[in-house]
Amino acid sequence: MSVDTGLKEIGMGEPGGTALDEIDEPAFTRLAERHRRELHVHCYRMLGSFQDAEDTVQETFLRAWRRRETFEGRSTLRAWLYKIATNAYLDLLAKRRPAAATGGEVLWLQPYPDRLLDELRADDADEPEVVAVARETIELAYLVAVQHLTPRPRAVLILRDVLGWPAKDVAKLLGDSVNSVNSALQRARAGMRAHLPADRQDWTGGEEDTGTRELVRRFTEASVATDIEALTAMLRDDVRCSMPPTPGLYVGRDAVVSNWVEDGFEGMTGLRGVPTSVNRQPAVAFYEWRESEGAYLPLTIDVLRITGGEITEIFTFHDDQFPQLGLAERLPSDDEPNTGGLS
């Protein structure tokens, strides 16, 4: 049979609609693939790890195909896939018995490429995941706070507050009562208030923000010049700095600067910086000159949170994150680096 993706999931959820077990695997895959990116973002938001989100989406599609006869058409295919993805996430964490986030650190945190967030379908502006990303719940400070919640309250919070699901639907998905869901939501909200920055402000790459652009430019130049004094002047008193998966959370301007000095940053040479954006936040990808390669090779990525014209948080990720972020694997000496979304 042919698949008409423009007819409300080929009539599923309507009287006389097509059952999933009546279509072949290629047709099913075409239907499911329409929701891959939003499901990936959903899993990433719950897990904080790009790779774990990838694995969970693959598991979601596998479960959906194997259990396609259980789709009764009482909801949309999208809602059914979200249910499977959420349960796959819960099963993953139950199997792993993950270590709790402690002291503000989330060592498994990985960045999410803005270019992939842009793949969310523009024609679905009223769909839950598109709205959720527009509400900026993809920024790193939010993800860190979410990771401090235990798995089920975390799922409740995201389904209720981010995706806007009714309590009765969340209760049905989790096999809980509505009262239990509401109680979990209250605990989750309290946990978020305890871990989110009090003055959290979102930066959106699509918005014209001259002050942010200028600060990122100065941060890039000062970093390339390893100008500690200039960098220090850009940091707020209570700035936070971390480098997942390397342990260590530094809080306060003095602590952050001291760590840079101890790590030998001040004496580094041969750096280049490429402004970009990650998780809808400004970021700078740094490359280091390698004489043996005759090129600048990936070093680190700094993702910034900026509040009131000052840098309030820096998440530094290692060079192994460059490929998934779509960043160049090398910069020739005569190449002018692309300034990405901040040009």
The pLDDT tens digits for 98-134 are 566 777 789 999 999 999 998 886 555 456 666 666 5
Per-residue model confidence (pLDDT) at position 326:
95
Q: Which CATH number fits domain 20-195: 1.20.1560.10, 1.20.1630.10, 1.20.140.160, 3.50.50.60?
A: 1.20.140.160
Phi, psi of 122 (to 5 degrees): -65, -25
- Decide the pairing of beta strands 235-243 and 310-318: parallel
> Measured between alpha carbons, how far is 310 from 211 in angstroms, rounded to an integer?
10
> Is 199 within 8 Å of 274 (Cβ atoms)?
no
Per-residue model confidence (pLDDT) at position 9:
44
- Helices 77-96 and 167-174, packing angle to 10 deg: 50
Per-residue model confidence (pLDDT) at position 222:
97
Per-residue model confidence (pLDDT) at position 185:
97
Phi, psi of 170 (to 5 degrees): -65, -40
Please give the model's pTM, rounded to 2 decimal places. Answer: 0.87
- Decide the pairing of beta strands 331-332 and 310-318: unpaired
Q: Which CATH number fits domain 210-342: 3.90.1150.10, 3.10.450.50, 3.40.50.620, 3.40.50.2300?
A: 3.10.450.50
Read out DSSP for 99-139? PPPBTTB-TT----BHHHHTTS-GGGTTSHHHHHHHTTTTS
Q: Residue 215 CA to chain centroid, in angstroms? A: 23
Calculate the dihedral angle through the C-alpha atoms of 199, 205, 211, 217, rounding to the nearest 10 degrees: 120
Which residues lie closer than 8 Å to 262 by C-beta, 6 or more apart?
none
Per-residue model confidence (pLDDT) at position 20:
78
Regions of the chain where pLDDT drops below 50: 1-17, 125, 201-208, 336-343
- The domain segmentation of the chain, as residue ranges, is 20-195, 210-342
> Measured between alpha carbons, how far is 296 from 289 in angstroms, rounded to an integer?
4
Per-residue model confidence (pLDDT) at position 1:
34
Phi, psi of 278 (to 5 degrees): -140, 135
Per-residue model confidence (pLDDT) at position 6:
36
What tokens were used for 29? 């895959």
Per-residue model confidence (pLDDT) at position 73:
77
